Structure 1
Amino acid sequence: MMHTTSVAARVAGETVLLLPEKALYWPAEKMLIVADIHFGKAAAFRALGVPVPRGTTTENLTGLDALVDAHGAQHIVFLGDFLHARAAHASATQQAMLAWRARRSSLRLTLVRGNHDRHAGDPAAQLGIELVDEPHQVGPFAFCHHPDLDTPGYALAGHIHPVYVLATRFDALRLPCFVVGSERMILPSFGSFTGGHAIRPEPGDTIYVSSGDAVHCVR
């Protein structure tokens, strides 16, 4: 795996790592936190006759493997939109996920249900995922899907797939970003083939973009 550079941030009295792979790591809990992985999104598009790339499920699972191995994670928390649509229950997607789970049987998995999860239905029981509703409180953090909830703790959320536009006179670049505020952090979308929404930071927000191999503070 290539060398990447993360950024340590102090929020809610805890140190977390903002990872270039568009995920968050909480070292004290050996917890990897990912938002909006959207398993089966490409399959859902193909079911509608849209010719989109295959292999996104494998790419997502390989990405999780790399981060678990690199950081020694023992617990993954998914901040909603684990499955994109009912088409995510398709055989090929399910078989890949079940094979991955068999290899990672000791890993604890928790899903904070998001809006797509309600439409897609819960993941297969064989995946052994703990299912919870937002906000899900662990220590000082409230794990959410939606970033605008009134929560009892510091909110870690996803949903909007934030990207930040770096512009010059001649060109512009859209990069996935972490939006870090005083009361909540919005994580970028982890999944392949999920797109992004250009955000306008609110007063007090700090923006960290991922170039793919490093995280940079840009605002």
Structure 2
Amino acid sequence: MSESQQAHCVVELAGEIVWLLAHKAVYWPERKMLVIADIHFGKAAAFRALGVPVPRGTTTQNLLALDTLLATYACEEIVFLGDFLHARAAHAPATVAAMLAWRTRHPGLRLTVVRGNHDAHAGDPAGALGIRMVDEPHRVGKLSFCHHPDTAAPGYVLAGHVHPVFHLRAAGTGRHGGRLRLPCFLLGQQCAILPSFGAFTGGHAVRPAAGERVYVTADAAIFALSANC
């Protein structure tokens, strides 16, 4: 793993230069576009509706995380790679009100959602949010934006759905010591899978196959495990 810590790694995908961000998103500077996977608005509310006691405030956390990115990177559009809403509980008045308040602070920002499997059950978000809803694959230049990594699509695919994490042995823990479970980007020859952006979304451990690259994020830094940043 690279010893240098930085907020992004620059990679080339199908001839396009994009930045993998420590904040679990992709930035495409040429298009002034942020790409975000699996934000899952309303997931905590859905769990509480089922009687599961989970923390409140995840919608606020998600919106503050978006604000951090928008304050850091020149952005004209955000593309969400599916699972924008977790379930119908995401239409709860408090959740919608918070999202509308955030939208009023960014009226000129274009928002595009590629529908994912959770969006199919939750339904489209409130029309007042001014979000363009599209089905996968959504192609922009040489890149195709999808929710599912196995979607047949032209060009190079950016996808979500998996919520990839990577397990690293914690320093100084010995043979049977603890492991760090870190969100990661998994880059293959034809597809890149983004980590889940949302708070309270969990993760699925991945093992890179031959030719795949892993970039893990931790403490506002991103590290290349199998390639130099």
Residue 4 of structure 1 deviates from its aligned partner by 5.6
Task: Tell me which amino acid in the other structure corresponds to 1:131.
Answer: M
CA distance in 1, matches of 2:47, 2:36: 23
1:212 aligns with 2:212: no
- Aligned residue in 2 for 1:185: 192
Unaligned runs of 5+ in 2: none
1:98 aligns with 2:105: no
Q: 2:13 aligns with which of 2, 6, 11?
A: 11
The 3-state SS of whatever aligns with 2:66 is: helix
- Aligned residue in 2 for 1:49: 51
Unaligned runs of 5+ in 1: none
Matches within 5 A, 1:1-219: 5-167=7-169, 169=175, 170-219=177-226
User: In 2 relative to 1, CA 50–76 (structure 1 residues): closer, same or farther, beyond 3 Å?
Assistant: same
Residue 131 of structure 1 deviates from its aligned partner by 0.5
The C-alpha deviation readout for 1:132-166, integer Å capped at 9, x for no partner, is: 00000000000000001121110000001000011
Instruction: Check conservation: 1:68, 1:74, Cα contact below 8 A.
Output: no
Task: Tell me which amino acid in the other structure corresponds to 1:164.
Answer: F
Number of equivalent positions: 217
Pair member with larger Rg: 2
Instruction: Check conservation: 1:21, 1:212, Cα contact below 8 A.
Output: no
Report the TM-score when normalising by structure 2.
0.93
CA RMSD between the two structures? 1.1
CA distance in 1, matches of 2:140, 2:108: 20
CA distance in 2, matches of 1:158, 1:191: 12
Residue 167 of structure 1 deviates from its aligned partner by 2.3
CA distance in 1, matches of 2:71, 2:155: 29
The 3-state SS of whatever aligns with 1:178 is: strand
The 3-state SS of whatever aligns with 2:157 is: strand
CA distance in 1, matches of 2:152, 2:113: 19
The 3-state SS of whatever aligns with 1:100 is: helix
The 3-state SS of whatever aligns with 1:147 is: coil
CA distance in 2, matches of 1:172, 1:66: 29
Report the TM-score when normalising by structure 1.
0.97
Residue 212 of structure 1 deviates from its aligned partner by 3.0
